[in-house]
Homo-oligomer: A and B are copies of this chain.
Amino acid sequence: MTVEGAGAPRLTSKGLATRRRIVEGAAEEIREQGVTGTTLDDIRARTATSKSQIFHYFPGGKEELLLAVASREAERVLEDQEPHLSNLRTWAAWQDWRDAVVRRYERQGVNCPLGVLITEVGRATPAAQALTARLIDQWQAALRTGIRHLQDSGDVDRRLDADRTAAALVAAIQGGVTILMSTGRLTHLEAALDTTLTLLRTTAPATR
Protein backbone atom coordinates (compact mmCIF):
# COMPACT_ATOMS: atom_id res chain seq x y z
CA MET A 1 0.00 0.00 0.00
CA THR A 2 1.59 3.24 -1.10
CA VAL A 3 0.15 6.70 -1.12
CA GLU A 4 2.00 8.79 -3.64
CA GLY A 5 1.79 12.55 -3.48
CA ALA A 6 -0.18 14.05 -6.32
CA GLY A 7 2.90 15.80 -7.66
CA ALA A 8 5.33 12.92 -7.10
CA PRO A 9 7.67 12.25 -10.01
CA ARG A 10 7.79 8.89 -11.79
CA LEU A 11 10.70 7.05 -10.22
CA THR A 12 13.34 4.70 -11.54
CA SER A 13 14.01 1.55 -9.54
CA LYS A 14 16.99 3.29 -7.97
CA GLY A 15 14.77 6.25 -7.17
CA LEU A 16 12.17 3.97 -5.62
CA ALA A 17 14.87 2.39 -3.46
CA THR A 18 16.03 5.79 -2.25
CA ARG A 19 12.47 6.87 -1.53
CA ARG A 20 11.92 3.64 0.38
CA ARG A 21 15.10 4.22 2.39
CA ILE A 22 13.93 7.72 3.37
CA VAL A 23 10.52 6.42 4.43
CA GLU A 24 12.02 3.55 6.47
CA GLY A 25 14.51 5.90 8.14
CA ALA A 26 11.78 8.43 8.89
CA ALA A 27 9.59 5.67 10.34
CA GLU A 28 12.40 4.55 12.66
CA GLU A 29 13.20 8.11 13.71
CA ILE A 30 9.53 8.81 14.45
CA ARG A 31 9.15 5.54 16.40
CA GLU A 32 12.10 6.60 18.57
CA GLN A 33 11.62 10.37 18.88
CA GLY A 34 7.89 10.76 18.36
CA VAL A 35 6.37 12.65 15.46
CA THR A 36 6.57 16.11 17.05
CA GLY A 37 10.19 15.50 18.10
CA THR A 38 11.30 14.62 14.57
CA THR A 39 12.50 17.23 12.09
CA LEU A 40 13.36 16.87 8.42
CA ASP A 41 17.00 17.48 9.42
CA ASP A 42 16.87 14.44 11.76
CA ILE A 43 15.55 12.34 8.90
CA ARG A 44 18.19 13.68 6.51
CA ALA A 45 20.94 12.85 8.99
CA ARG A 46 19.61 9.36 9.62
CA THR A 47 19.13 8.49 5.97
CA ALA A 48 22.23 10.35 4.71
CA THR A 49 20.21 12.33 2.17
CA SER A 50 20.32 15.95 1.15
CA LYS A 51 17.56 18.51 1.51
CA SER A 52 17.08 18.57 -2.27
CA GLN A 53 16.77 14.76 -2.35
CA ILE A 54 14.04 14.85 0.30
CA PHE A 55 12.13 17.50 -1.65
CA HIS A 56 12.69 15.61 -4.89
CA TYR A 57 10.95 12.55 -3.48
CA PHE A 58 8.49 14.46 -1.29
CA PRO A 59 7.68 17.76 -3.01
CA GLY A 60 4.98 18.37 -0.39
CA GLY A 61 7.62 18.38 2.37
CA LYS A 62 7.11 16.97 5.84
CA GLU A 63 3.37 16.44 5.44
CA GLU A 64 3.82 14.30 2.34
CA LEU A 65 6.62 12.37 3.99
CA LEU A 66 4.49 11.76 7.10
CA LEU A 67 1.72 10.38 4.92
CA ALA A 68 4.22 8.03 3.23
CA VAL A 69 5.43 6.89 6.67
CA ALA A 70 1.81 6.35 7.78
CA SER A 71 1.29 4.26 4.67
CA ARG A 72 4.38 2.20 5.55
CA GLU A 73 3.14 1.72 9.13
CA ALA A 74 -0.20 0.53 7.76
CA GLU A 75 1.65 -2.06 5.66
CA ARG A 76 3.42 -3.21 8.81
CA VAL A 77 0.14 -3.79 10.62
CA LEU A 78 -0.62 -6.50 8.05
CA GLU A 79 2.97 -7.77 7.66
CA ASP A 80 3.19 -8.37 11.40
CA GLN A 81 0.28 -10.82 11.10
CA GLU A 82 2.09 -12.92 8.50
CA PRO A 83 2.57 -15.71 7.62
CA HIS A 84 -0.66 -16.45 9.52
CA LEU A 85 -3.01 -13.89 7.97
CA SER A 86 -2.59 -15.27 4.45
CA ASN A 87 -2.98 -18.86 5.55
CA LEU A 88 -6.16 -19.07 7.65
CA ARG A 89 -7.18 -22.57 6.54
CA THR A 90 -7.66 -24.42 9.82
CA TRP A 91 -8.70 -23.58 13.39
CA ALA A 92 -5.07 -24.15 14.41
CA ALA A 93 -3.96 -21.53 11.87
CA TRP A 94 -6.61 -19.11 13.16
CA GLN A 95 -5.35 -19.67 16.71
CA ASP A 96 -1.76 -18.92 15.60
CA TRP A 97 -2.99 -15.75 13.93
CA ARG A 98 -4.91 -14.76 17.07
CA ASP A 99 -1.74 -15.20 19.15
CA ALA A 100 0.31 -13.16 16.65
CA VAL A 101 -2.20 -10.30 16.78
CA VAL A 102 -2.26 -10.27 20.60
CA ARG A 103 1.56 -10.40 20.79
CA ARG A 104 1.89 -7.59 18.26
CA TYR A 105 -0.33 -5.23 20.22
CA GLU A 106 1.06 -6.32 23.57
CA ARG A 107 4.51 -5.36 22.27
CA GLN A 108 3.18 -2.10 20.88
CA GLY A 109 1.43 -1.19 24.15
CA VAL A 110 -0.28 2.16 24.50
CA ASN A 111 1.59 3.84 21.63
CA CYS A 112 0.32 3.26 18.13
CA PRO A 113 2.76 4.67 15.53
CA LEU A 114 0.09 4.63 12.82
CA GLY A 115 -2.48 6.32 15.07
CA VAL A 116 -0.03 9.07 16.00
CA LEU A 117 0.80 9.71 12.33
CA ILE A 118 -2.86 9.73 11.29
CA THR A 119 -3.59 12.22 14.07
CA GLU A 120 -0.66 14.39 12.95
CA VAL A 121 -1.66 14.33 9.28
CA GLY A 122 -5.22 15.11 10.37
CA ARG A 123 -7.67 12.30 11.00
CA ALA A 124 -10.39 14.00 8.97
CA THR A 125 -8.28 14.74 5.88
CA PRO A 126 -9.18 12.80 2.72
CA ALA A 127 -5.65 11.37 2.51
CA ALA A 128 -5.76 10.00 6.07
CA GLN A 129 -9.29 8.63 5.62
CA ALA A 130 -8.31 6.92 2.36
CA LEU A 131 -5.25 5.37 3.99
CA THR A 132 -7.27 4.05 6.94
CA ALA A 133 -10.04 2.78 4.69
CA ARG A 134 -7.53 0.92 2.52
CA LEU A 135 -5.91 -0.78 5.52
CA ILE A 136 -9.32 -1.85 6.82
CA ASP A 137 -10.37 -3.15 3.38
CA GLN A 138 -7.19 -5.20 2.95
CA TRP A 139 -7.40 -6.61 6.48
CA GLN A 140 -11.07 -7.47 6.04
CA ALA A 141 -10.40 -9.14 2.66
CA ALA A 142 -7.72 -11.38 4.18
CA LEU A 143 -10.02 -12.41 7.04
CA ARG A 144 -12.92 -12.95 4.62
CA THR A 145 -10.76 -15.36 2.62
CA GLY A 146 -9.93 -17.20 5.83
CA ILE A 147 -13.59 -17.45 6.86
CA ARG A 148 -14.45 -18.82 3.40
CA HIS A 149 -11.78 -21.49 3.84
CA LEU A 150 -13.51 -22.57 7.06
CA GLN A 151 -16.87 -22.54 5.33
CA ASP A 152 -15.47 -24.68 2.49
CA SER A 153 -14.11 -27.22 4.93
CA GLY A 154 -17.38 -27.35 6.86
CA ASP A 155 -15.88 -25.75 9.97
CA VAL A 156 -18.15 -22.69 9.83
CA ASP A 157 -21.79 -22.42 8.79
CA ARG A 158 -21.96 -21.54 5.08
CA ARG A 159 -24.98 -19.33 5.66
CA LEU A 160 -22.86 -16.83 7.57
CA ASP A 161 -22.00 -13.68 5.58
CA ALA A 162 -18.19 -14.01 5.37
CA ASP A 163 -17.62 -10.36 4.51
CA ARG A 164 -19.70 -8.98 7.38
CA THR A 165 -18.13 -11.47 9.77
CA ALA A 166 -14.69 -10.31 8.64
CA ALA A 167 -15.80 -6.68 9.14
CA ALA A 168 -16.94 -7.59 12.67
CA LEU A 169 -13.56 -9.17 13.39
CA VAL A 170 -11.67 -6.09 12.17
CA ALA A 171 -13.92 -3.91 14.36
CA ALA A 172 -13.39 -6.21 17.35
CA ILE A 173 -9.60 -5.97 16.99
CA GLN A 174 -9.74 -2.22 16.44
CA GLY A 175 -11.87 -1.82 19.57
CA GLY A 176 -9.63 -4.05 21.65
CA VAL A 177 -6.61 -2.01 20.56
CA THR A 178 -8.39 1.30 21.27
CA ILE A 179 -9.23 0.08 24.79
CA LEU A 180 -5.64 -1.12 25.26
CA MET A 181 -4.38 2.33 24.26
CA SER A 182 -6.87 4.10 26.56
CA THR A 183 -6.54 1.91 29.64
CA GLY A 184 -3.40 -0.20 29.23
CA ARG A 185 -5.51 -3.38 29.45
CA LEU A 186 -5.05 -6.21 26.93
CA THR A 187 -8.09 -8.16 28.18
CA HIS A 188 -10.60 -6.68 25.76
CA LEU A 189 -8.53 -7.47 22.68
CA GLU A 190 -8.16 -11.06 23.87
CA ALA A 191 -11.84 -11.35 24.79
CA ALA A 192 -12.90 -9.91 21.44
CA LEU A 193 -10.77 -12.35 19.43
CA ASP A 194 -11.49 -15.40 21.58
CA THR A 195 -15.24 -14.79 21.79
CA THR A 196 -15.62 -14.31 18.05
CA LEU A 197 -13.59 -17.45 17.29
CA THR A 198 -15.43 -19.49 19.93
CA LEU A 199 -18.78 -18.37 18.57
CA LEU A 200 -17.70 -19.09 14.98
CA ARG A 201 -16.80 -22.63 16.01
CA THR A 202 -20.28 -23.21 17.44
CA THR A 203 -21.79 -22.58 14.01
CA ALA A 204 -20.03 -25.62 12.50
CA PRO A 205 -22.69 -27.96 11.15
CA ALA A 206 -20.79 -30.94 12.60
CA THR A 207 -21.14 -29.67 16.16
CA ARG A 208 -24.84 -28.96 15.87
**Residues of chain A at the chain B interface (Cβ within 8 Å):** 110, 118, 123-124, 128-129, 132-133, 136, 157, 160, 164-165, 167-168, 170-179, 181-185, 187-189, 191-192, 194-196, 198-200, 202-203, 208
Asked if A192 and B179 sit within 8 Å, CB to CB, the answer is: no
Quote the shortest CB–CB distance from A31 to chain B (angstroms).
Answer: 17
Which chain B residue has the least Cβ–Cβ distance from A188?
B171
Which chain B residue has the least Cβ–Cβ distance from A131?
B182
Partner of A171, one of B118, B172, B202, B208: B172
Which chain B residues border A123 with CB–CB below 8 Å?
Answer: 181-182
With known contacts A124-B110, A136-B179, A182-B132, A192–B172 Cβ distance under 8 A = yes
Asked if B203 and A191 sit within 8 Å, CB to CB, the answer is: no
Asked if B189 and A171 sit within 8 Å, CB to CB, the answer is: yes
Partner of A175, one of B160, B175, B203: B175
Asked if B183 and A129 sit within 8 Å, CB to CB, the answer is: yes
A195→B143 CA distance, assembly (Å)? 14
Which chain B residue has the least Cβ–Cβ distance from A185?
B133
Asked if A203 and B199 sit within 8 Å, CB to CB, the answer is: yes
Quote the shortest CB–CB distance from A203 to chain B (angstroms).
Answer: 5
A7→B31 CA distance, assembly (Å)? 38
* Contacts A164-B191, A168-B192, A174-B178 supplied; 19 other A-B pairs, CB < 8 Å: A110-B124, A123-B181, A128-B182, A132-B183, A136-B179, A157-B202, A160-B198, A167-B187, A167-B191, A168-B172, A168-B195, A170-B175, A171-B188, A171-B192, A172-B172, A172-B192, A173-B175, A175-B175, A175-B176
Which chain B residues border A124 with CB–CB below 8 Å?
Answer: 110
